[in-house]
Amino acid sequence: MLAISELKKVYPTGAKALNNVSFTVDQPQVIAIIGPSGAGKSTLIRCINRLVEPTSGKVLLDDIDIVSLSRRELRKARRRMGMIFQEYNLVDRLTVMENLLSGRLGYVSFWRAYSRKFPPKDVVAAFKLLDRVGLEGYQGTRADALSGGQRQRVGIARALMQAPDLLLVDEPTASLDPKTSRQIMRLLVELVQERGTPALVNIHDVALAQSFSDRIIGLTTGEIVFDGTSDQVTEDVLTEIYGEEDWSQTIRKGDDDNSPPTDKKSSKDNGYVREAVAG
């Protein structure tokens, strides 16, 4: 699905943000990328859809090298990659529905986008996604009237509107409280399983990463120093990634708690067909 090969990013100042990063993703899984600030996590994620231009290397999405695409082809390729941001990055003055539909901007004509007359199937998909992330009824609310957790749900839904082949998630929970963080991570994991879409997730909270991901990649000063399952993350591994520290408290011990979600009864089906809900 995704193959990164010898990705390098060097800034004009000479700073090496990414140095020969290579890894592959060949099954739908949640991959957490951990590492200290400045390690290049953000840069890595953004190099994949070329919001940051890599200096050299290859990014193969199903055998298409993203790095070598022209601007027009890049736009087409970006449609296949849904991105979720730390600061949610919704267009504040637009409604939730318009923000969701903006995920389809790569697919509709200019006039449809201007008049906001999107194709019916997009609108139906938007309503369904709204339901799935637990924001039923919020379609007409302006984005800046939502709480942080709600905004991130909209951000997730927007990324999913693209029906992407890959999810790029940049620190989705850094601006959220611990409870909401877990809800959001749980939602992400469920969606990855339902849709079979792999997700690359930058996280700085190691315990959170361990609880919710199938695979962890550790990045330090632009290089991958660890690539394995969350069980394999030992204190030594963390020292290698972050440096000397008392890591005993950071590593997850045992199972995560099963706190129920607050604002919606989460649907456990695949999200597209709903049983008629009584009442």
Partner 1 sequence: MTVIEHAEKYPEIWRRFSPRMTLIRYVWYVAIVAVATWSISNLDLPWFYFLDAHVQALDLVTRMWPPELEFWETLALPLLETIHIATLGTIFTLIIAFPVAFLAARNTTFNTATWFIGRLILVTSRSVNTVVWGLFFVAMFGPGPLAGIWAIAFRSIGFMGKLVAEAIEEIDEGIVEAIDATGASRLQVLWYGILPQVLPVIYGTTIYRWDINIRESTVLGFVGAGGIGILLYSSINQFQWREVSLILLTVFGVVMVSEFVSAMVRKRIS
Partner 2 sequence: MNTSPEPAAAIAPRWHRIRMIEHPALRYGLFALAVIYVFWSMGALDLNWHRISNGIPRAGNMFARMIPPDFSRWSLLVKGILESVQMALAASFFGMILAVPLGLCGAANLVPKPVYLVARALIILSRTFHEIIIAIFFVKIFGFGPLAGVLTLIVASTSFISKMIAEDIENMTPGQLEAVRATGASFPKLLIYCISPNTLPRYLGVSIYRLDANIRHSTVVGIVGAGGIGQVLAATFSRYDYDFSLAILITIVSLVFLGEFFSSWVRGHLR
User: Which residues contribute to the site for partner 1 (CB under 8 A)?
Assistant: 95, 97-98, 116, 118, 120-121, 123-124, 126-128, 131, 139-140, 273-276
Nearest to 96 by CA among 144, 29, 134, 24: 144
Q: Is 77 in the site for partner 2 (CB under 8 A)?
A: yes
Alpha helix segments (H runs only) across the chain:
41-48, 71-78, 96-101, 110-115, 120-132, 148-161, 178-195, 206-212, 235-242
User: Which residues neighbour 124 within 8 Å (Cβ) at sequence distance 6 or greater?
Assistant: none
In angstroms, the first-to-last Cα distance of the chain is 43
Paired sense of beta strands 199-202 and 2-10, if any:
unpaired
Binding of partner 2 by 65 (CB under 8 A): no
Q: Which does 59 bind (CB under 5 to 8 A by kind): partner 2, partner 1, none?
A: none
70 vs 249, beta carbon nearer partner 2: 70
Shortest Cβ distance from residue 187 to partner 1 (Å)?
A: 20
The residue from 1, 3, 51, 207 that contacts partner 2 (CB under 8 A) is 51
Closest to partner 2 by CB, 103 vs 218, is 103
Closest distance to partner 1 from the beta carbon of 117 (Å): 8
* Residue 126 interaction partner, one of partner 2, partner 1, none, beta carbon < 5-8 Å per kind: partner 1
Q: What is the β-pairing status of strands 223-228 and 81-84? A: unpaired
Binding status of residue 81 toward partner 2 by CB under 8 A: yes
> Which one, of 126, 131, 87, 271, lies nearest residue 193 by Cα?
271
What is the distance between the alpha carbons of residues 14 and 179, in angstroms, rounded to a whole number? 40
Closer to partner 1 by Cβ: residue 75 or 117: 117
Residue among 6, 169, 141 nearest 81 (CA):
169
Give residues in contact with partner 2 (CB under 8 A): 49, 51, 75-79, 81-83, 85, 87-94, 98, 102-107, 110, 113-114, 155, 158, 162, 168
